[in-house]
Amino acid sequence: MGHARKGLVLGILLTTAIGSGIVALILVIVETRDVYLPPETKYGMVFDAGSSHTALFVYRWPAGKENDTGIVSQALACSVKGPGISYYREEPTQAGESLRDCMREALGLIPDHLQRGTPTFLGATAGMRLLRLQNSSQADRLFEEISKTLRQFPVDFRGAQLLTGNEEGAFGWITINYLLESLVKYSFAGKWMPPTAAELVGSLDLGGASTQITFRPQSPSGDPSTQEDFRLYGGNYTVYTHSYLCYGRDQALKMLQAHLVQASNSSRVDHPCYPSGFQETLLLEGLYDSPCARPPKAYNPQSEILLRGTGDPEACFSAVRTIFNFSSCGGRKDCGFNGVFQPAVSGHFYAFSAFYYTFDFLNLTKGQSLSVTNATVWEFCKRNWDEMELSYPDQKKWLHNYCPTAVYILTLLMDGYKFTSESWSTISFCKQAADTDIGWSLGYMLNLTNMIPSEEPAGSRAQNRDVWIAAVFFVVLAVSLTTGALAVQYFGLPA
């Protein structure tokens, strides 16, 4: 019986050892491309410093990339309390301090060991572009103070920079097409597929101080200054893009006020876009504090102007047209306004930021026809102030501006960008796509990932494969030894 027990134990040990060898041999012989340790998640942060407010977006993506571009998703959106950073021109240290709460919230999300490798960027747009035109030293000081604050946090701070209008437009275009899977798709076969050109959509962005139009034209751009080129997911893209400084919502409304004040030449000015019964007092110093609203040669900055709403939509449309220069195009079809080259719009467009917020308030984001949109805006502009206040008690601060903003949007899209009653249906007014905010910041982050070294270099798959094999081998070996020990104990054999 002793020999039988010994034989049984030896047989178990021999069988286990053979099994270990077979498993190791299979792992060596069989190609193990898909058997490697998953890459760690990486994070990136972008401050979108607009003219009226700042927001921090945190993005994440796997360290292994598809054609050198990360598969990025939004992890956090934090709205910075207070106005845009250009507001702090007289107290630049406050601009940096205003960002601290959102930075703390973001670092609470990112694992500690990944924070110092997290690229962090602040991009300022049209509000700071205007400030730089007015006072470049103030703009530089703001960026210095912001950089000083953000360098105090354990992140890879890449700098506070001023984006060009073309960059703002192009990155917004990237964002939308990425979220709509127009730049890359994951097929049922488990492969990344490039899209067709017909799937790419255009973007329409309306900020506080500028507006951008970006799309892929049917023919090459006739003006190199309106062209942006970039490479994403293995594909090369060329788009038309132009940013109109001073034609964001806030600055456009200020230009409209300046026109009405100068045309009236009186301290009491009728404003046809404001609801009847509404009154607003302005200091000329505040009206002309921007290079967008050109003052007359002689005026008293401390003079007060009383704006009185008349609720006249027809006069409102006429007044809004005066802030555009349509005659500068000379009848050319390849021209938007103010003499700027623009090819004919083509394809589908996504309109976001103030485009969306204004039309959402008016319940016009459900694909309504142009005739319905015009009728809705027209009727809204005829309402009196008392009726509006009762209907929208929570919107009192901005309520008087919805009519002029809606009229401005219609004029910009139809007369400025040359959409027609037929192409109107190609515009979608949206805030988000795929549960992610639409704006330039995600597009910038996607472009930035091309500059971040992949954490899965050429040799890492082989290294991961070797680690995998070694791990399996030692697991099987441990099982073998455990099996032998149990057999010895069970059969009562000496160790």
Report the SS3 class of residue 26: helix
Q: Tell me the pLDDT band of 36, cut-offs 50, 70 and 90.
A: very low
**Close Cβ partners of 404 (under 8 Å, ≥ 6 residues apart):** 253, 256, 273, 274, 316, 320
d(CA 359, CA 361): 5
485 phi and psi angles, rounded to 5 deg: -65, -40
pLDDT tens string 484-494: 554 455 545 44
Which two tokens mark 17? 């050892």
d(CA 137, CA 131): 9
* Higher-confidence position of 357 and 462: 357
- What DSSP state is assigned to residue 275? P
Name the CA radius of gyration of the chain, rounded: 31
What confidence score (pLDDT) does residue 211 get?
Answer: 98
pLDDT tens string 64-94: 766 667 778 899 999 999 999 999 999 999 9
Report the SS3 class of residue 202: strand
Is-contact 329 417, C-beta < 8 A?
no
Q: Tell me the pLDDT band of 236, cut-offs 50, 70 and 90.
A: confident
Residues annotated as part of the active site: 168
Is-contact 63 455, C-beta < 8 A?
yes
Report the pLDDT averaged over residues 239-251: 97
CATH node for 249-433: 3.30.420.150
d(CA 76, CA 103): 11
* Three-class HEC string of 22-79: HHHHHHHHCCCCCCCCCCCEEEEEEEEECCCCEEEEEEEEECCCECCECCCEEEEEEE
Report the SS3 class of residue 486: helix
Domain ranges of the chain: 2-36+471-491, 41-194+435-451, 249-433
Report the pLDDT averaged over residues 383-392: 96
What confidence score (pLDDT) does residue 468 get?
Answer: 45
Which two tokens mark 377? 């805006």
**DSSP strands (E only) in 80-155:** 119-124
Is-contact 155 109, C-beta < 8 A?
no
Amino acid, single-letter form, for residue 355: F
What confidence score (pLDDT) does residue 393 get?
Answer: 92
d(CA 114, CA 203): 33
pLDDT tens string 269-319: 999 999 999 999 999 999 999 999 999 988 999 999 999 999 999 999 999
CATH class of 41-194+435-451: alpha beta
Q: Which of 40-44, 56-60, 182-186, 424-428 has the lowest mean pLDDT?
A: 182-186
Is-contact 345 218, C-beta < 8 A?
no
pLDDT tens string 215-234: 999 887 678 899 998 888 77
Report the pLDDT averaged over residues 472-477: 51
> What is the C-alpha end-to-end distance of the chain, expressed in Å?
18
Report the pLDDT averaged over residues 178-201: 73
d(CA 280, CA 400): 10
Rounded alpha-carbon distances, angstroms, from residue 469 to 89, 472, 477: 61, 5, 12
Rounded alpha-carbon distances, angstroms, from residue 154 to 42, 113, 117, 440: 15, 10, 9, 25
Report the pLDDT averaged over residues 149-174: 96
Q: Tell me the pLDDT band of 18, cut-offs 50, 70 and 90.
A: low
Among 402, 409, 367, 406, which Cα is nearest to 385's?
402
Among 412, 122, 92, which Cα is nearest to 246's?
412
Q: Do domains 41-194+435-451 and 249-433 have the same CATH topology?
A: yes
β-partners of residue 399 are none
Residue with tokens 């207070």: 82
* Residue 412 clears pLDDT 90, i.e. is over it: yes
